């Protein structure tokens, strides 16, 4: 997309009733009219390079709705989720938007644009935990697999729903809207792991009618537009490395945060690189040091 086209796209989004349109998409994608969902799925498969051979259910007729197709499960063994415990897994299929060290409190969004941890997490105390740590931001295009998995074994500490806008999170918008990820609706999931605390943030977007976690079900859409913070000290939620932790019901972005010194990001996590669930996101700090192991 040209610079002029990208700018026009951003302006158009600011004028559209994004929440109303996203709500309509939410309802349409869940319709269980056979002819309608088949029509939508076939059109989608013609528009995007969908790899149905990887799906647990490879036939269009196997899905009751478009949303069921969109959040389709992968066949066992299609992604490698094994390997040494020092290997931190990429949690999704997608394209790396940015990755690297957190510069004090700031994360890079795009060239010339950054945002703060406190704004992203909506929690200054939690932001201090990751100050100077590592991060990776991965964009999920419409054709990608849309379930989100655990990079490492973890125990859930808290979940925070933060209301916000619903701008698209495609590259044109990322390059054109300040503080995009800290402005959009999002779910912040905090875990304790063998490498310290980790946060995995699911960022909502235009046409993302719903985001869900395996422990809470659908977290969005919701009528109440206020911050919802929940601790999980009593209700223990343990998730193994590679286990599903959530899903997007349309395309969006995942941001993963690690404490300072906890991990060394893999060089393959470079902006613009296509990545898959299960490939190496990082190595633990001990294993990553020269001469270790």
- Per residue in 114-171, pLDDT tens? 889 999 999 999 999 999 999 999 999 989 999 999 999 999 999 999 988 777 776 7
288: confidence class by pLDDT, cuts 50, 70, 90: very low
pTM: 0.89
Measured distance CA(215)–CA(232) in Å, rounded: 10
Among residues 22, 93, 97, 168, which one is catalytic? Answer: 93
- Per-residue pLDDT at 76 exceeds 90: yes
290: confidence class by pLDDT, cuts 50, 70, 90: very low
The highest-confidence range among 30-39, 107-116, 178-187, 204-213, by mean pLDDT, is: 30-39
CA angle, 79 then 82 then 84, to 5°: 145
Q: Catalytic site residue 238?
A: no
| Residue 244 near residue 149, CB atoms below 8 Å | yes
Task: Look at the chain and count its residues.
Answer: 293
Mean pLDDT score, 55-74: 94
| Residue 184 near residue 203, CB atoms below 8 Å | yes
48 CB-near residues (< 8 Å, 6+ apart): 141, 142, 143
Check residue 289 and give its pLDDT.
Answer: 41
Q: Which two tokens stand for residue 226?
A: 């206020």
**Alpha helices (H) in 16-123, listed in sequence order:** 18-28, 34-47, 66-70, 117-121
Measured distance CA(254)–CA(136) in Å, rounded: 8
219: confidence class by pLDDT, cuts 50, 70, 90: confident
| Residue 164 near residue 158, CB atoms below 8 Å | no
- Per-residue pLDDT at 205 exceeds 80: no
Name the least confident of 75-89, 96-110, 160-174, 242-256.
160-174
User: What pairs with residue 139 in β-bridges?
Assistant: 95, 253
**Alpha helices (H) in 59-143, listed in sequence order:** 66-70, 117-121, 124-130
Check residue 265 and give its pLDDT.
Answer: 96
Q: Catalytic site residue 62?
A: no
Name the least confident of 136-145, 231-240, 242-251, 259-268.
242-251
Helix (H) and strand (E) counts in the chain: 9, 18
Mean pLDDT score, 219-247: 89
Count of beta carbons in the 10 Å neighbourhood of residue 84: 10
- Per-residue pLDDT at 107 exceeds 50: yes
Rounded percentage of the chain residues whose pLDDT exceeds 90: 61
- Per-residue pLDDT at 23 exceeds 90: no
| Residue 205 near residue 250, CB atoms below 8 Å | yes
14: confidence class by pLDDT, cuts 50, 70, 90: low
CA angle, 244 then 286 then 274, to 5°: 45
Among residues 149, 168, 210, 266, which one is catalytic? Answer: 149
Mean pLDDT score, 222-233: 86
**Alpha helices (H) in the chain, listed in sequence order:** 3-15, 18-28, 34-47, 66-70, 117-121, 124-130, 171-174, 180-183, 285-288
Among residues 65, 168, 183, 252, which one is catalytic? Answer: 252
- Per-residue pLDDT at 221 exceeds 80: no
Instruction: Choose between 92 and 108: higher pLDDT.
Output: 92
- From the number of C-beta atoms within 10 Å of its C-beta (0-12, 13-18, 19+), residue 224 rates as exposed
Q: Catalytic site residue 93?
A: yes
């Amino acid at each position: 997309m040209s610079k002029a086209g990208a700018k026009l796209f951003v302006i158009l989004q600011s004028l559209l009733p994004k929440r109303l349109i996203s709500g309509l998409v939410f309802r349409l994608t869940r319709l269980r009219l056979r002819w309608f969902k088949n029509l939508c799925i076939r059109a989608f498969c013609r528009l995007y390079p969908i790899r149905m051979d990887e799906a647990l259910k490879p036939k269009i007729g196997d899905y009751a709705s478009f949303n069921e197709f969109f959040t389709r499960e992968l066949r066992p063994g299609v992604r490698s989720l094994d390997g040494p415990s020092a290997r931190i897994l990429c949690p999704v299929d997608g394209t790396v938007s940015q990755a690297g060290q957190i510069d004090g409190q700031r994360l890079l969004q795009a060239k010339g644009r950054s945002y703060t941890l406190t704004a992203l997490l909506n929690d200054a105390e939690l932001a201090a935990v990751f100050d100077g740590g590592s991060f990776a931001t991965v964009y999920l295009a419409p054709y990608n697999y849309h379930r989100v998995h655990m990079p490492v074994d973890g125990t859930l500490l808290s979940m925070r729903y933060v209301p916000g806008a619903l701008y698209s999170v495609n590259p044109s918008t990322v390059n054109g809207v300040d503080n995009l990820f800290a402005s959009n609706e999002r779910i912040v999931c905090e875990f304790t792991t063998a490498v310290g605390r980790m946060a995995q943030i699911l960022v909502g977007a235009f046409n993302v009618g719903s985001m869900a976690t395996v422990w809470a079900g659908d977290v969005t859409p919701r009528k109440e537009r206020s911050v919802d913070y929940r601790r999980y000290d009593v209700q223990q939620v343990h998730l193994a490395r590679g286990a599903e932790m959530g899903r997007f019901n349309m395309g969006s972005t995942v941001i993963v945060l690690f404490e300072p010194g906890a991990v060394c990001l893999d060089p393959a996590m470079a902006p613009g690189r296509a990545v898959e669930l299960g490939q190496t996101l990082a190595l633990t700090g001990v294993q990553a040091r020269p001469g270790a192991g």
